[in-house]
Structure 1
Amino acid sequence: MTTRRIEVLDLLRGIAIVGTLGTNIWIFTDPGGPADVVKALGQPGTVETFLRFLTNGKFLALLTLLFGVGLELQYRSAARRGVPWPGWYLWRAGLLFVEGLIHYLLIFEFDVLMGYALTSIIVAYLIGRSDRAVKAWMITVGAVFVVLIGLLTLGMLAGQASTGGASEPSTLFTDGTYPQQVAARIEMIGLYRIEIVLIVPMGIVLFLLGSRLMRAGVFEDSARGTALRRKLMVVGLAVALPLNLLTAFAGPGWFLVDRYLLPPLVALGLLGLVATLARRATGAPGVLRRGLTNVGRTALSSYIFQNLVASVLCYGWGLGLAASLDGLRPWWVVAAWAGICALFMTLSTLWLRRFERGPVETLWQWAYLVPQGRSKRSDKMVEVSTKR
């Protein structure tokens, strides 16, 4: 791994994190909270529908691809050191699941870390298998996922499914206390965590795809890497993106296609585009690129804390801006997203001037290494033995 390639990964990860907030910010700023998460989707001609389209699902998929790249790097590291795989990686996945559970209970209903943790356990046993076996898994799981999305979409369309409904709007997020919100997450964990049923199969395909793209040289300065990135941009931006725009305005019945089926293809195009532009960039990175790269280096901290900041700004137990500024939608939502992104680009830059990792990453690394005292010494003995 060259330093430049690592910087590209950090840049992509930073873009994925701020893009994920671009989806979540519509939840935080809705006075009805997560209960009205797709209330404005599919309303033809609305500016908000278009603004949601720009981020919905795409950066979740990009982040998922990058998790696959990270898993590939962990696998390579274990292979170089001659240590068993998946070995201690399963402990990493367990920590990620616990971290996601805490994030879900205390901060945000639609945490993705729990789903990533479950996915990584499955993929850890697949990533080292032959290309033929991995391809078979990707095709099989991908086909099941597409059929599932198709059947659910047909059901939503046939039943004229609408997330708006006629029920009374929830006041939990405008008038409720913080403990009441936590209690609601515990009570409704089955409903709020149902997305994992879709994230895990999608994640298996995208984790494995991210790993194989890495092996195929998608980040390399080579003719092969350039050609691969160009193909990704054609598929994602020239084909999938226009289709995704149509589904964004097609109505709530197309919500699942609009969030889970087309966005992963668009994410491939984004990956190819950002990697290409990063390769062509000359000179020192500007303020924006440095900020995004630093967010990528502190991705876990930024993901968790930006959701916490959005909660404080929007919910009734905080500043309550979701209710007081609702008449200024959608523009105040865009301003809130931009402000939070600027804040964390600044904070991550200042933090990394003094520390190697973000605060959550540091705590996570400690929790990962503490139980490995004996294992680490054994790994060193294996490395010495291998060199001899």
Structure 2
Amino acid sequence: MGAAGLYWRHGLGIYLRRHLLLLVIGLAHFALLWHGDIIASYAQVALLLPLWLRRSPSCTALTLWAVGLGLLYFIPTFWAALAMNWSAPRYGFSPQFEEHQSYLSILRERLHDLPSDSLLGYPYDIQSLAGGLLFAGFFLLYFLLGAAMQKSGLLARPQQHQVALRRLAFWGLGLGVPLGVLLAWMNAQTAAPYTYLSESVRMVGGLLMALGYIGLFGLISLGRSARRLLPLAYSGRMAMSNYIAQSLVMTTLFYPYTFGLYGHVGAAGAVAFALAFGVLQVALSRLYLAHFPRGPLETLVRWAVYGRS
């Protein structure tokens, strides 16, 4: 939604400047802190969005494009997973560390992986390029749905879209929660096909949950409980700063060059810690914004894009 709004308010020049800067920040985040960066992937796909927005398409057209891209991702990915060898072991995406491995050693590995771990990938072969394009198509789906919502005023004027918000909340959470339970079960399976079956469930379930949250929070904003959402708004105004802070804190705790907790904390403990740290960030965001207009990284990006803080 934000990307589409930026394009329609400020035009292509500002739009490209912002997302090229985000690409640089994301690549630096990947190389210096964490291999799972999402900012660079966001920026790469955002650079494709003006191809759809420049003719100001209707909300219906944007939504149909999004549905088509979703099917284009899901059907071949699901079919390929079922065709895999069920007796083969599951492939792991997590990095493997040596005990007390140094930061410089891990940094060298990430720099080596940087071209191939970008969203579109480095086309060593047709298979890797095709996989990267499939993921790019699914990421673009989010941008197209966001553009449709931005154009409709779904959250800017929620009082005019109460029926749509109720449907999003009902169907998004009603389908997304069971898929989340299914994903938890799949993540405990060891056969090779579950590597990509779980990714498909994660992507589709994540999208449905996101739509459900949009409907839920949109409806809450209409009622007397709306003020209770303000703490979340504070953390949202510092989204990038909070995201990078999470990487900094978590790698400090879990990576082998510092406290080395990686592999020593179970799933329940890791989820509990992540939730607790997220709640702490909400409180810290409110405290920070009582003294400054926006987060530190948000200030940097605003200065670089608009020439003012």
TM-score by length of 1: 0.66
1:177-196 to 2 correspondence within 5 Å? Answer: 177-190=102-115, 192-193=117-118
1:1-388 to 2 correspondence within 5 Å? Answer: 69-78=1-10, 85-128=11-54, 129-131=56-58, 133-135=61-63, 137-156=65-84, 158=86, 160=88, 162-163=90-91, 170-172=96-98, 174-190=99-115, 192-193=117-118, 197=132, 198-219=134-155, 220-222=157-159, 224-250=160-186, 251=189, 252-253=194-195, 254-282=197-225, 284-285=227-228, 289-322=229-262, 326=264, 329-370=266-307
Q: What is the distance in 2 between the residues matched to 1:280 and 1:264?
A: 25
The answer to whether the Cα contact below 8 Å between 2:62 and 2:145 also exists between their aligned partners in 1 is: no
The answer to whether the Cα contact below 8 Å between 2:23 and 2:44 also exists between their aligned partners in 1 is: yes
Over the matched positions of the two proteins, sequence identity in percent amounts to: 27
The Cα of 1:284 is off from its aligned counterpart by 4.4
Q: What is the distance in 2 between the residues matched to 1:157 and 1:256?
A: 17
- What stretches of structure 1 of length at least 5 have no aligned partner? 1-68, 79-84, 373-388
Q: What is the distance in 1 between the residues matched to 2:165 and 2:245?
A: 32
Q: What is the distance in 1 between the residues matched to 2:73 and 2:106?
A: 32
Assess, with a 3 A threshold, how the Cα gap between structure 1 residues 301 and 156 changes in structure 2: closer, same or farther.
farther
Assess, with a 3 A threshold, how the Cα gap between structure 1 residues 298 and 154 changes in structure 2: closer, same or farther.
same
Secondary structure, in 3 states, of the residue corresponding to 2:258?
A: coil
Secondary structure, in 3 states, of the residue corresponding to 2:90?
A: coil
Q: What is the distance in 1 between the residues matched to 2:13 and 2:244?
A: 27
- What stretches of structure 2 of length at least 5 have no aligned partner? 122-131
Aligned residues: 286
The answer to whether the Cα contact below 8 Å between 2:66 and 2:144 also exists between their aligned partners in 1 is: yes
The Cα of 1:295 is off from its aligned counterpart by 1.2
Assess, with a 3 A threshold, how the Cα gap between structure 1 residues 226 and 147 changes in structure 2: closer, same or farther.
same
Q: What is the distance in 2 between the residues matched to 1:111 and 1:164?
A: 17
The answer to whether the Cα contact below 8 Å between 2:183 and 2:202 also exists between their aligned partners in 1 is: no
The Cα of 1:241 is off from its aligned counterpart by 2.9
The Cα of 1:154 is off from its aligned counterpart by 2.3
Assess, with a 3 A threshold, how the Cα gap between structure 1 residues 164 and 296 changes in structure 2: closer, same or farther.
closer
The Cα of 1:190 is off from its aligned counterpart by 4.8
Q: What is the distance in 2 between the residues matched to 1:150 and 1:93?
A: 31
The answer to whether the Cα contact below 8 Å between 2:63 and 2:148 also exists between their aligned partners in 1 is: no
Q: What is the distance in 1 between the residues matched to 2:301 and 2:147?
A: 23
Secondary structure, in 3 states, of the residue corresponding to 1:175?
A: coil
The answer to whether the Cα contact below 8 Å between 2:30 and 2:114 also exists between their aligned partners in 1 is: no
Q: What is the distance in 1 between the residues matched to 2:63 and 2:226?
A: 39
The answer to whether the Cα contact below 8 Å between 1:110 and 1:193 also exists between their aligned partners in 2 is: no
Assess, with a 3 A threshold, how the Cα gap between structure 1 residues 363 and 329 changes in structure 2: closer, same or farther.
same
Which residue identity is paired with 2:41?
G
Q: What is the distance in 1 between the residues matched to 2:87 and 2:243?
A: 36
Assess, with a 3 A threshold, how the Cα gap between structure 1 residues 297 and 283 changes in structure 2: closer, same or farther.
closer
The Cα of 1:135 is off from its aligned counterpart by 4.6
Assess, with a 3 A threshold, how the Cα gap between structure 1 residues 112 and 195 changes in structure 2: closer, same or farther.
farther
How big is each residue's C-alpha offset from its partner over 1:191-217, in whole Å with a ceiling of 9 and x where there is no partner?
Answer: 543587254211211111112123334
Partner of 1:51: none
Partner of 2:127: none
The Cα of 1:87 is off from its aligned counterpart by 2.1
Which residue identity is paired with 1:263?
G
The Cα of 1:315 is off from its aligned counterpart by 1.4
CA RMSD of aligned residues (A): 2.7
The Cα of 1:116 is off from its aligned counterpart by 0.8
Q: What is the distance in 2 between the residues matched to 1:243 and 1:115?
A: 24
Assess, with a 3 A threshold, how the Cα gap between structure 1 residues 90 and 283 changes in structure 2: closer, same or farther.
closer
The answer to whether the Cα contact below 8 Å between 1:115 and 1:199 also exists between their aligned partners in 2 is: no
Q: What is the distance in 2 between the residues matched to 1:133 and 1:188?
A: 37
